[in-house]
Amino acid sequence: MIFGYVSVSSKNQSLASQLRELKECGCDRMYQEKQSCKDFERPVYKEMRSNMCSGDVIVVHDLSGFGRNKREIRDEWEALVEEEIDIVVLNTPILDTRKYKELEGVGQLVSDLVLILLSWMVEVERTRIKTAQREGIEIAKKQGKFRGGKKKYYKGANGKDKVLYDEVVRCLNENLSVMDIHRKTGLSRNTIYTIKQEIQITETT
């Protein structure tokens, strides 16, 4: 069976063209998700992998569909090969393991070298984007143009937000666990951890 997989990191990005490309390649089943490819903890990808077995083929548009970290890309590639699942990267025709089943030596060596090079390039590009984002934020801060996300639950909040904030603070002071506070208030654990950290900073200053 031929499996097609496509992922984009932004909800505003369209999957249409890549899905059409996968369909034209004869994919029997196509999986799509809008989630960062920084690692392989992606529910749709994991579901697809659980349905794959020896003799199947996975088709992706480009290598970044596998991830953004060169070590993880290579580990996943090797895992697929060990399970005798073929891999096709559409925008890099040399990365098609079906071509090297009967070949030894040069053909496989070239494929391996290209994989190493491209996986390194994918990681470098991700690092470059993150660095540019950080630099952009720092510049915006210096110019007074960056405000970050709007905080809802804090000491100076109003209405329901203030009630929830005070409840979290009360529960933290009573040494309730973050998970218990999450269940009690419905606030995310990240929000509760943030409030907890802010309280600790305030107490030490």
Give me the domain span that covers residue 21: 2-125
Name the band, by pLDDT with cuts 50, 70 and 90, for residue 52. very high
Q: Is 2 helix (H, G, I), strand (E, B) or coil?
A: strand
- pLDDT score, position 111: 62
- Report the distance separating Cα 104 and Cα 112, nearest Å: 12
56 with 104, same domain: the answer is yes
Q: Which residues of 173-187 are buried (b: 16+ CB within 10 A; e: fewer)?
A: eeebebeebbeebeb
pTM of the full predicted structure?
0.53
Query: pLDDT tens digits, residue range 13-29?
Result: 677 888 888 999 899 99
- pLDDT score, position 119: 65
CATH number, domain of 20, equals 3.40.50.1390
- Report the distance separating Cα 140 and Cα 146, nearest Å: 5
CB count in 10 Å sphere of residue 158: 8
Domain count, the chain: 2
Q: What is the mean pLDDT of the chain?
A: 78
Task: Give the residue from 54, 55, 56, 81 showing the smallest Cα distance to 5.
Answer: 56
Is 35 within 8 Å of 7 (Cβ atoms)? yes
109 with 174, same domain: the answer is no
149 found inside a domain: no
* φ, ψ (nearest 5 deg) of residue 86: -80, 155
Query: pLDDT tens digits, residue range 119-170?
Result: 666 665 556 656 666 666 666 666 665 555 567 888 888 888 899 999 999 9
Q: Is 182 helix (H, G, I), strand (E, B) or coil?
A: helix
CB count in 10 Å sphere of residue 69: 19
